[in-house]
Amino acid sequence: MSFPSISVCLPVYNEEATITEVLQEAHESLSRSTLKYEIIVCNDGSKDRTGTIVDNMTAFIPHLRALHHPRNLGICISFEHLYSEAANEFVFLNSSDRQWKTSIIFDMLPLTTDWDVIVASRLNKHYGTMRRFVSWGFNKIPSIFFGARTFDAGAVKLMRREIIQRFTLVSRSPFAEAERLIRAARAGYRITEFPVEISARQTGVAHGANFGLVLRSLKDVPRVWWSLRSEPVGNSRVNRPTSHSGDLTKRA
């Protein structure tokens, strides 16, 4: 069975404690397969040694590219920069804090024959009460206001690159990840979830429940609704390709 080519994208900010292990795991997993792949890291103005570590690792990890922001521009801009650089059929957007292993991609790839977006939804969210409430609301809003099920929009995703290229987003916050899925669902792309057990963050600080980000996300909801108000809902997506460029026969 053949599988699509993959762009593995990793946004990083002050992840010197984890980035070496994350990139080694990604390289070891992917290099044992016959997939066509690339690994792209966006260093968002890290103040520690993250950027230096990533640059050094490009010397001995094939297919690894490093992008650098001169200052911290935020996770949303990092996501979009990575998306714009991705060149393969599917994009796998992962985190750099070791919560998800890149190797889960091999369990998700078979689903690409039937689905355009596979969300690696979290079975176990290592959150406090407030963060859990924010996450619940973030995932309920698309269903309530837009009639689209996005599962766990803030989680790792394996997504057809044409979806990223096709839609112009109006969100200015992390709600952009939900907006992209909302637009894809309305256009007829097929979205499913692949529930996974994740590890707790070992280092760094999570900012998902930051008051400023939550407020910006709430402001984006009416902005997206207004943008979509006159757009038709229906199956208008392009035809799915019938063949892929790689297989997993050499995977260890």
DSSP string, 131-186: HHHHHHHHHHHHHHHHS---SSTTSEEEEEHHHHHHPPP---STHHHHHHHHHHHH
- Domains within the chain, CATH numbers bracketed: 2-230 (3.90.550.10)
How many helices (H) and strands (E) in the chain?
8, 9
Q: Cα separations (Å) of 14 from 48, 150, 162, 191?
A: 6, 29, 31, 32
Q: How far is 3 from 77, CA to CA, in rounded Å?
A: 29
Q: Tokens 């966006």 correspond to what residue?
A: 42
Q: Which H/E stretch holds residue 192?
A: strand 191-193
- The secondary element (H helix, E strand) that includes residue 2 is strand 2-3
Q: Please, is 235 exposed, middle or buried when counting C-beta atoms within 10 Å of its C-beta (0-12, 13-18, 19+)? A: exposed
When pLDDT is averaged across residues 230-242 and rounded to a whole number, the result is 60
Percentage of residues in the chain having pLDDT higher than 70: 83
Contact criterion met (CB below 8 Å) for 86 and 36: no
Which residues have CB under 8 Å from 214's CB, separation 6+? 134
pLDDT at 142 over 70: yes
Residue-by-residue DSSP string for 68-120: EESS---HHHHHHHHHHH--SSEEEE--SSSSS-GGGHHHHGGGGGT-SEEEE
Per-residue pLDDT tens over the stretch 44-92: 999 999 999 999 999 999 999 999 999 999 999 999 999 999 999 999 9
- In the sheet that holds 6-12, the strands lie side by side as 64-69, 37-44, 6-12, 90-93, 156-160, 117-120, 191-193
pLDDT tens digit string along 172-183? 888 999 999 999
Give the confidence band of 230 by pLDDT, cuts at 50, 70, 90.
Answer: confident
pLDDT in tens, 154-171: 889 999 999 999 999 999
Distance (Å, whole) CA 95 – CA 46: 15
156 neighbors 193 (Cβ within 8 angstroms): no
DSSP 122: B
> How does the average pLDDT of the chain come out, rounded?
87
The answer to whether 40 and 46 have CB atoms below 8 angstroms apart is no
